[in-house]
Amino acid sequence: MMYEDNSATKPTPVQDIHGDGRWMSLHERFVSEAKEREADVIFIGDSIIQQLQQNDVWNRYFEPLHSLNFGIGGDQTQHVLWRVQNGEMDGNSVRIVVLLVGTNNHENTADEICDALATIVKEIHARQPEAHVLVVEIPPRGQQPNVVRDKLQAVNRLMRDRKIDNLDRRFQTICVDWNLFIDQKTGEISHKDMYDYLHFTTAGYEKLFEPIAEEIQCILGEFGPR
């Protein structure tokens, strides 16, 4: 697939429409952190990853594991791809990369988003060949059932079945149980889990990331101490 055929796979920095350079400043800080800190785990993605660092779930589960958080609010797959290609994975060797992005790709189809996620995984492995890449399925969004949810479900189904060349040993999709967040009778998402029906409360983060923390612990146990 050619980049020009799919905007989700075309590496692109975010346009500085506000004029304050914040997105590029964050990227440059992440590049420095990747080089200066000896992290075992890097989380990269959009606001769901970014806000995790401000939550007690991060402090309890991931801070002790020498983790770095490279989340930027509003990022789409093409923005994360650009960041990966421009230094955020070029630092010290890491053991695990956790990727969660795609909910903001409003203009792209499920197939295009899936292709973009696969492209990001390949680019991460090109720079961190020994790292395990955990692709977290995209959580549901919107209080009521909606077409965006339908598309995100399709992305998740595609990623579960995706075979990325011969990298399967170090790539896996982390399934997200949507039933944890959606009332099975009404189809509604509770504000107790997602305060704005997109971003998570502490209770929501606990449901989403506790299984991921367990998987990370298992993988790190296979590596043994540095």
Write out pLDDT tens, residues 12-25.
Answer: 999 999 999 999 99
Structure-block tokens of residue 123 = 């680019």
Domain 3-223 has CATH 3.40.50.1110: yes
Told to judge if 196 belongs to the known catalytic residues of this protein, a careful annotator would answer: yes
CA angle centred on 178, ends 140 and 156, rounded to 5°: 70
pLDDT tens digits for range 61-87: 999 999 999 999 999 999 999 999 999
Question: Cβ neighbours of residue 103 under 8 Å, at least 6 residues apart?
Answer: 46, 48, 138, 139, 141, 152, 198
Condensed to tens digits (0 to 9), the pLDDT of residues 95-149 reads 999 999 999 999 999 999 999 999 999 999 999 999 999 999 999 999 999 999 9
The answer to whether 190 is a known catalytic residue is no
Class of residue 73 by CB neighbours under 10 A (exposed 0-12, middle 13-18, buried 19+): middle
Q: 60: which 2 tokens?
A: 């309890």
List the domain boundaries for the chain: 3-223
Between 44 and 170, name the one with better pLDDT: 44
Q: Which one of the listed residues 47, 67, 115, 125 is annotated catalytic?
A: 47
Q: Catalytic residue at 47?
A: yes
